[in-house]
Amino acid sequence: MSLHYLVTGGAGYIGSHLVLALVGAQHQATVLDDFSTGHRWATEGHEVIEVDIRDLAALRSALLHRHFDGVFHFAAKSLVGESGQKPLLYYQNNVTGTANLLEVALENDWRHCVFSSTAAVYGSPQSAVIAEEHPLNPVNVYGETKLAMEQLLSAVHKQGAMHAVCLRYFNAAGAAPDAHRGEWHEPETHLIPNVLRKAAGEARPLTIFGDDYDTPDGTCIRDYIHVLDLAQAHLKAMAMLHREGGFHTLNLGSEAGYSVREILRACETTVGQPITHDIGPRRQGDPPRLVADAGRAGQILGWRATRGLREIVDSAWLWEQERQRLQAR
């Protein structure tokens, strides 16, 4: 059955891949975005509503009498470093914006929401592998706001008004270059695009933030999850909500950990040449190791990551070459 979904933040990295997946599954997608960080080219061919979710009156009027079978909520500020410098912007955009969206959703009787959450809600890990029961102690404003957004959804669920799934991503990576989609942030802070932008010849430093961690090679370990695997999990989560309802929090990760040096080597293999870098001090707030236990997503959604590191890096490199062409225009 073809359904019609609202995708907030659908012009962004993960949201635009979800839009592709929805269309691929014969659904309809309407993007809602303020284009503060999203890209217009990523929404071509889709209905777009341009509005800032902090503005309740504008949101209400843009969505008045619209029917959607559910909402995928990605619209959020998402830079850890920036969140400490601009906490009010993060609380307004992420928390107030979500309260506004939920208000309008309830007014219009949309009762299903899949929310883009993050492993940042856990803070510093107390175990080698993180399951959903891990204590929630975010160590930065970004993680605090994402946790508050989860709590808003939980409260509205308890009120009996909304079914919701919060998907806690580990490190989203990779791209759908054949569909002209990929990661493009300015500034870029994420490891894989930083490495590949350096490899593509950009005049920018590439620094490994700390090689003195208590890990086998001294650099931080992360769980990289392909953005196409994330998109599939969103489709399954929405389908499950329509079948069963409820409120769920689920980790999305590959359950495999790779160090920064291992990522660098994987990128060098894909690119076919060494990539110049230096070693710098630790970046504040980086835990040594973040790896998901994604068992609950397996049980509840029948989902698991199907694409490994090679596919992540190869697709990110193809996308990086296309992104360079777009940037040069």
Residues acting as catalytic residues = 142
| Neighbour-count burial of 204, counting CB atoms closer than 10 A to its CB (0-12 exposed, 13-18 middle, 19+ buried) | exposed
Report the residue from 154, 207, 215, 324 that binds ligand UFG according to the rule CB under 6 A.
207
User: Shortest distance, CB of residue 173 to ligand UFG, whole angstroms?
Assistant: 8
CA distances from 96 to 52, 149, 165, 277, 299 (A): 11, 9, 19, 40, 33
Which residue type sits at 43? T
Quick count: other Cβ atoms within 10 Å of Cβ 160? 8
Cβ proximity to ligand UFG, 51 vs 196, nearer residue: 196
The reply to whether 119 sits near ligand UFG by the rule CB under 6 A is yes
**Max Cα distance, the chain (Å):** 56
Cβ proximity to ligand UFG, 69 vs 255, nearer residue: 255
User: Shortest distance, CB of residue 119 to ligand UFG, whole angstroms?
Assistant: 4
Look at strands 221-222 and 289-290 and give their pairing: parallel
Cβ proximity to ligand UFG, 163 vs 229, nearer residue: 229
Report the residue from 28, 48, 209, 215 that binds ligand UFG according to the rule CB under 6 A.
209
Question: Which of 291, 296, 303, 294 lies closest to 248, judged by CA?
Answer: 296
Stretch that binds ligand UFG, among 118-126, 227-235, 240-248, 300-308 (CB under 6 A): 118-126
Cβ proximity to ligand UFG, 92 vs 207, nearer residue: 207
Cβ proximity to ligand UFG, 96 vs 117, nearer residue: 117
Residues in 254-273 at the binding interface with ligand UFG, rule: CB under 6 A: 260
Report the residue from 20, 105, 153, 220 that binds ligand UFG according to the rule CB under 6 A.
220
| CA angle at 226 for the pair 93 and 24, rounded to the nearest 5° | 85
The reply to whether 208 sits near ligand UFG by the rule CB under 6 A is yes
Report the residue from 6, 51, 191, 294 that binds ligand UFG according to the rule CB under 6 A.
191
Q: Which residue has the tokens 């609380």?
A: 91
Interacting residue ranges for ligand UFG, rule: CB under 6 A: 78, 80, 118-120, 142, 171, 189-191, 194, 207-209, 220, 222, 260, 283, 286, 290
